[in-house]
């Protein structure tokens, strides 16, 4: 249960749920929390569908004579919501009307492309959660990482291979610096990381906007705030051939997930970070430096977000604009929450949200449903994942099913 | 930088961190315990140095014109001409004198001296930057009136946040409250045809956001920062979706709200500079001053205020004395929503005539910054909001004047000073001790 605070520690995010459970019920709790995640997604989708339905024009027309023929209204509602979701599915997973096999699976590769920065930045947020830190600054860390990556990409002209490595390293460095500032200031002065990260997001945004007015960052012959395109050698190669946008950045995201999983569960550093997150006082008593933990985890969190910025610049956008981070940094928070701050949970939550994003674009062009519905569904999911009554309901359901099996 | 308001309830923080970090407002706490400190002297010294290098040496040898009145005003004052370079020297001298005084005393200066230092620095900066412009002339009235207008939603937002945080609930959802208030106001005012109904709807809409916040944060003890962040996304998505699907296609039905009346107080409004700034405003502008006064009085002079602060600092102690902690928190979170809603109404009923997607554009976060920079104090929040409003108004005015300072740096100012404030470099901002921690009765 990632979003409930235990009474003892305010900063603690991945605390156990307040529901009191006997020790032997651990497995059932785990099942319950998975059931709850699924339930949360379903309930959020139903509510989103209702919202699409009641705002639909045809539904409003039919509602004018609701008492004469209520069936018309209901069927119009069903049509509005289902066609929107079907279009979203076609845009996110599989498009049955594609001419070739490649066309038909193209949507799913789009989903993975969009998921790449979400996973990377989400891992950064999740890692900080585990150390008890609330990193709202992924947006700024992505921006700074993207800026440095883009600068190395278009102004250093290095041979193929080395150039890409330099770009990735620059992106990671940029994010790590922006995240590290937070860790350092928190460790030195005790300032709250939530305030620091929110403020640094805006500082980064203005910094990038200013850089893009400078001649060295300005694309030649353009008056828009856009940087020159990065060199071909600075771009991620395509993963599945030129037909798809999917690039090797996705492989980097998989690699990062494996690395974070190893770091958290198999390394001393990860153990120390989790100890700091679980109980800072106990960690200090055990000889773990809590302040050093803050710096290390924010460096790593920023590094991961910086890689997300690199994936944007050298994977899909190929140049720097003030909008290069889109809203990935904020979405990353919801991704990490849905993934319950575990590496693989974050990975799959990133793919789910990538599917919403990619499918939302298709939905908007096919059925005219506004893409902002995706934001609504995403935030509702996180709210429901955090809602204890839904959790107790899920646990009771799974317990009831076990009981009925025992009775039979 | 002139917000040295003390908090009666907070105990003096032990001075730590490297010594040269200090600045002008470390004050109240240190003064209370009588610590010998050179932080104010060092801080003032740094300001004096900046003033010397930039405002005095690196300035244009020109006259800067400040216009007090426009053609057509009843009372006309002559424009003020200030020679940029000598003014820079004067500012430097004032700051240096204050720094020396602080150094001799080896402790914080009285509050008026700190306010003087802050004002001198801002004035020095203003003269310097206008002096570097193509046409070194600026209307002081427009500058100040615009600042107050831009500060209005920030003041309401930070007061709304203050009511939550002083009772121990972190409110990151100020942005959501402002945005949903603006949205509700636009729709309700258009449908009903009355801006007053719109104002009421803004309050109700914003309270609705508070209801969700209170439900999750207090009833279910979900992490308050998480709820706040998610609420911001939810409201942004919800209003964006409804704007695109309902408001935009039939704007005349849902999104053309009538404006709230502008009230010009006779005679008083004729006073040069002060008149147009203070006495020629929208209804919400007057409400703003009233709200600051009421919140200050209620917080520091009533039983409710004492209980609220107690619940925010030490809920267990308050509970022991019979204060219903969570009930009071719920009530204050809802109240905070109502106050923030008034700020939301400012967008659609006063400043712009229709709702647009994400029209609050991060003001909720600046309001949060103002709350922190104003040290969780109503008057401090007002002053901080005015400073941030001044900075963003100066930014838009200077973009026409063509100055060498990039506008992005002025836009950054609120965020940077907030970082410095929470890091203890500009005074020390400490929140209510129990803020963010859910209370469980044992």
Give Cβ neighbours of residue B410 (< 8 Å, ≥ 6 apart). B391, B392, B394, B395, B398
Distance from CA of A63 to the nearest CA of B (A): 15
pLDDT (0 to 100) of residue A6 = 36
Q: Domain tally for chain A?
A: 2
Q: A365 and A303 share a domain?
A: no
Q: Nearest by CB to B237, which of A18, A189, A379?
A: A379
Q: Cβ–Cβ of A4/B409 closer than 8 Å? A: no
Give yes or no for A378 touching B (CB within 8 A).
Answer: yes
Q: Nearest by CB to B408, which of A55, A210, A389?
A: A210
Chain A residue with CA closest to B417: the answer is A199
Q: A81 and A129 share a domain?
A: no
Top-confidence residue, B239 or B84: B239
pLDDT (0 to 100) of residue A30 = 65
pLDDT (0 to 100) of residue A403 = 61
pLDDT (0 to 100) of residue A216 = 85
Chain A residue with CA closest to B247: the answer is A55
pLDDT (0 to 100) of residue B278 = 83
pLDDT at B144 over 60: yes
- Where is the domain boundary, A257, A287, A321? A321
Top-confidence residue, B145 or A305: A305
Q: A125 and A75 share a domain?
A: no
**ipTM score:** 0.84
Q: A165 and A224 share a domain?
A: yes
Q: Span B4-33, mean pLDDT?
A: 39
Task: Pick the residue of A4, A5, A212 with the most B CBs within 10 A to test the interface with B by mutation.
Answer: A5
Distance from CA of A336 to the nearest CA of B (A): 11
What does the alpha-carbon distance between residue A116 and residue B364 come to, in Å, rounded to a whole number? 30
Give yes or no for A185 touching B (CB within 8 A).
Answer: yes
Chain B residue with CA closest to A335: the answer is B230
Is residue A156 included in any domain, yes or no? Answer: yes
Top-confidence residue, B13 or A402: A402
Is residue A251 included in any domain, yes or no? Answer: yes
Is residue A385 included in any domain, yes or no? Answer: yes
Q: What percent of chain B has pLDDT over 70?
A: 88
Q: A62 and A207 share a domain?
A: no
pLDDT (0 to 100) of residue A258 = 97
pLDDT (0 to 100) of residue B228 = 92
User: Between residues 245 and 284 of chain A, which touch chain B (CB distance below 8 Å)?
Assistant: none
Q: A213 and A253 share a domain?
A: yes
pLDDT (0 to 100) of residue B403 = 75
Structural domain including A58 reads 32-92+342-394
Sheet order of strands, B80-83 included = B80-83, B63-67, B137-139
Other beta carbons within 10 Å of B210: 32
Contact A332, A122 (CB under 8 A): yes
Is residue A407 included in any domain, yes or no? Answer: no
Q: A181 and A299 share a domain?
A: yes
Contact A128, A182 (CB under 8 A): no
> CA dihedral in degrees (A299, A304, A306, A308; nearest 10)?
-170
Task: Pick the residue of A195, A203, A215, A277 with the most B CBs within 10 A to test the interface with B by mutation.
Answer: A195
pLDDT at B29 over 90: no
Q: A298 and A390 share a domain?
A: no
Give the pLDDT band (50/70/90) at residue B6.
very low
Give Cβ neighbours of residue B186 (< 8 Å, ≥ 6 apart). B198, B247, B254, B255, B257, B348, B349, B354, B355
Chain A residue with CA closest to B357: the answer is A372
Give the pLDDT band (50/70/90) at residue B72.
low
Following DSSP, what letter does each residue of B73-142 receive, concatenated? Answer: -SS-PPPEEEEHHHHHHHHHHHHHHHHHHHHHHTSPPPHHHHHHHHHHHHHHHHHHHHHTSSS-EEEHHH
Q: Which stretches of chain A score pLDDT less than 50?
A: 1-23, 408
pLDDT (0 to 100) of residue A5 = 36
Q: Nearest by CB to A376, which of B241, B423, B438?
A: B241
pLDDT (0 to 100) of residue A206 = 92
Q: A180 and A292 share a domain?
A: yes
Q: A211 and A242 share a domain?
A: yes
pLDDT (0 to 100) of residue A201 = 93
Q: Nearest by CB to A55, which of B246, B362, B369?
A: B246
pLDDT (0 to 100) of residue B442 = 73
- Where is the domain boundary, A260, A292, A321? A321
pLDDT (0 to 100) of residue A23 = 47
Q: A190 and A306 share a domain?
A: yes
Other beta carbons within 10 Å of B103: 14
**Mean pLDDT over all residues of chain A?**
86
Q: Nearest by CB to A375, which of B221, B237, B365?
A: B237
What does the alpha-carbon distance between residue B195 and residue B189 come to, in Å, rounded to a whole number? 5
CA distances from A76 to A44, A353, A371, B168 (A): 20, 28, 20, 47
Top-confidence residue, B277 or B77: B277
Q: A145 and A254 share a domain?
A: yes
The angle at the Cα of A113, spanning A107 to A114, to the nearest 5 degrees, equals 95
The DSSP bridge partners found for residue B263 are: B281
Chain A residue with CA closest to B231: the answer is A379
Is residue A2 included in any domain, yes or no? Answer: no
pLDDT (0 to 100) of residue B47 = 83
Is residue A335 included in any domain, yes or no? Answer: no
Q: Output phi, psi for B66, to 5 deg.
A: -110, 120
């Amino acid at each position: 249960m990632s979003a409930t605070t235990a009474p003892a520690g305010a900063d603690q995010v991945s605390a156990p749920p307040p529901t009191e459970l006997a020790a032997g019920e651990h497995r059932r709790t785990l099942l319950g929390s998975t059931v709850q995640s699924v339930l949360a997604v379903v309930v959020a989708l139903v509510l989103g569908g209702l919202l699409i339905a009641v705002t639909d024009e045809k539904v409003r027309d039919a509602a004018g004579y609701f008492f004469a023929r209520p069936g018309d209204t209901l069927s119009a509602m069903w049509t509005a919501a289902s066609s929107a979701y079907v279009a979203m599915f076609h845009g996110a997973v599989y498009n049955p009307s594609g001419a070739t096999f490649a066309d038909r699976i193209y949507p799913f590769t789009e989903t993975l492309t969009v998921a790449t920065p979400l996973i990377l930045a989400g891992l950064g947020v999740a890692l900080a959660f585990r150390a008890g830190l609330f990193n709202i600054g992924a947006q700024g860390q992505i921006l700074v990482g993207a800026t440095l990556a883009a600068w190395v990409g278009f102004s250093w002209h290095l041979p193929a291979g080395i150039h890409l490595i330099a770009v990735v390293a620059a992106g990671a460095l940029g994010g790590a610096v922006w995240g590290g500032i937070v860790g350092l200031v928190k460790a030195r002065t005790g300032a709250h990381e939530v305030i620091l990260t929110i403020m640094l997001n805006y500082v980064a945004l203005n910094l990038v906007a200013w850089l893009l007015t400078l001649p060295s960052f300005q694309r030649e012959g353009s008056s828009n705030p856009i940087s020159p395109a990065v060199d071909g050698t600075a771009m991620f190669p395509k993963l599945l051939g030129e037909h798809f946008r999917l690039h090797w950045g996705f492989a980097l995201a998989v690699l990062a997930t494996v690395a974070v999983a190893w770091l958290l569960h198999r390394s001393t550093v990860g153990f120390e970070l989790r100890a700091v997150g679980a109980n800072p006082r106990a960690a200090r008593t055990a000889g773990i430096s809590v302040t050093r933990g803050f710096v290390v985890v924010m460096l790593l969190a920023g590094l991961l977000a910086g890689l997300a910025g690199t994936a944007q610049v050298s994977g899909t956008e190929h140049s720097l604009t003030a909008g290069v981070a889109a809203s990935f940094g904020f979405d990353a928070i919801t991704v990490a929450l849905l993934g319950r701050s575990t590496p693989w949970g974050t990975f799959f939550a990133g793919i789910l949200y990538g599917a919403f994003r990619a499918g939302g674009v298709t939905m908007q062009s096919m059925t005219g449903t506004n893409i902002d519905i995706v934001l609504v569904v995403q935030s509702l999911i996180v709210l429901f994942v955090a809602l204890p009554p839904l959790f107790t309901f899920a646990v009771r359901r799974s317990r009831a099913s076990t009981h009925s099996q025992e009775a039979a | 930088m002139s917000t040295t308001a003390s908090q009666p309830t907070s105990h003096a923080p032990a001075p730590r961190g490297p010594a040269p970090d200090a600045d002008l407002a470390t004050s109240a706490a240190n003064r209370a315990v009588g610590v010998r400190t050179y932080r104010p002297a060092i801080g003032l010294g740094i300001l004096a140095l900046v003033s010397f290098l930039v405002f005095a040496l690196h300035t244009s040898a020109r006259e800067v014109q400040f216009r007090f009145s426009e053609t057509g005003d009843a009372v006309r004052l002559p424009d003020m001409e200030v020679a940029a370079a000598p003014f820079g020297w004067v500012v430097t001298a004032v700051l240096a004198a204050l720094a020396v005084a602080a150094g001799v005393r080896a402790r914080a200066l009285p509050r008026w001296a700190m306010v003087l230092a802050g004002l001198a620095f801002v004035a020095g900066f203003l003269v310097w930057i206008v002096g570097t412009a193509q046409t070194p002339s600026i209307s002081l009235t427009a500058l100040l009136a615009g600042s107050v207008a831009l500060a209005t939603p920030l003041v309401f937002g930070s007061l709304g946040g203050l009511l939550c945080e002083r009772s121990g609930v972190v409110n990151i959802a100020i942005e959501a409250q402002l945005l949903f208030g603006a949205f509700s106001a636009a729709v309700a005012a258009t449908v009903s045809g009355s801006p007053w109904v719109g104002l009421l709807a803004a309050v109700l809409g914003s309270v609705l956001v508070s209801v969700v916040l209170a439900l999750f944060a207090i009833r279910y003890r979900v992490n308050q920062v998480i709820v706040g962040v998610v609420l911001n996304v939810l409201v942004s998505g919800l209003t964006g979706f409804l704007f695109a699907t309902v408001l935009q296609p039939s704007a005349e039905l849902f999104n053309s709200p009538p404006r709230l009346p502008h009230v010009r107080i006779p005679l008083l409004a004729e006073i040069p500079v002060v008149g147009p700034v203070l006495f020629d405003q929208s209804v919400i502008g007057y409400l703003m001053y009233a709200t600051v006064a009421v919140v200050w009085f209620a917080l520091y002079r009533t039983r409710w205020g004492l209980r609220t602060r107690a619940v925010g600092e030490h809920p267990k102690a308050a509970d022991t004395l019979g204060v219903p902690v969570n009930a009071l928190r719920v009530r204050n979170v809802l109240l905070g929503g109502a106050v923030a809603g008034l700020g939301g109404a400012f967008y659609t009923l006063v400043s712009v005539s229709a709702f647009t997607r994400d029209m609050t554009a991060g003001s909720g976060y600046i309001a949060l910054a103002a709350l922190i920079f104003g040290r969780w104090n109503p008057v401090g929040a007002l002053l901080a909001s005015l400073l941030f409003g001044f900075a963003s108004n100066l930014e838009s005015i200077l973009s026409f004047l063509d100055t060498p300072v990039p506008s992005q740096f002025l836009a950054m100012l609120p965020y940077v000073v907030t970082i410095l404030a929470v890091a203890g470099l500009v005074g020390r901002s400490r929140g209510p001790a129990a803020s963010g921690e859910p209370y469980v009765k044992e």
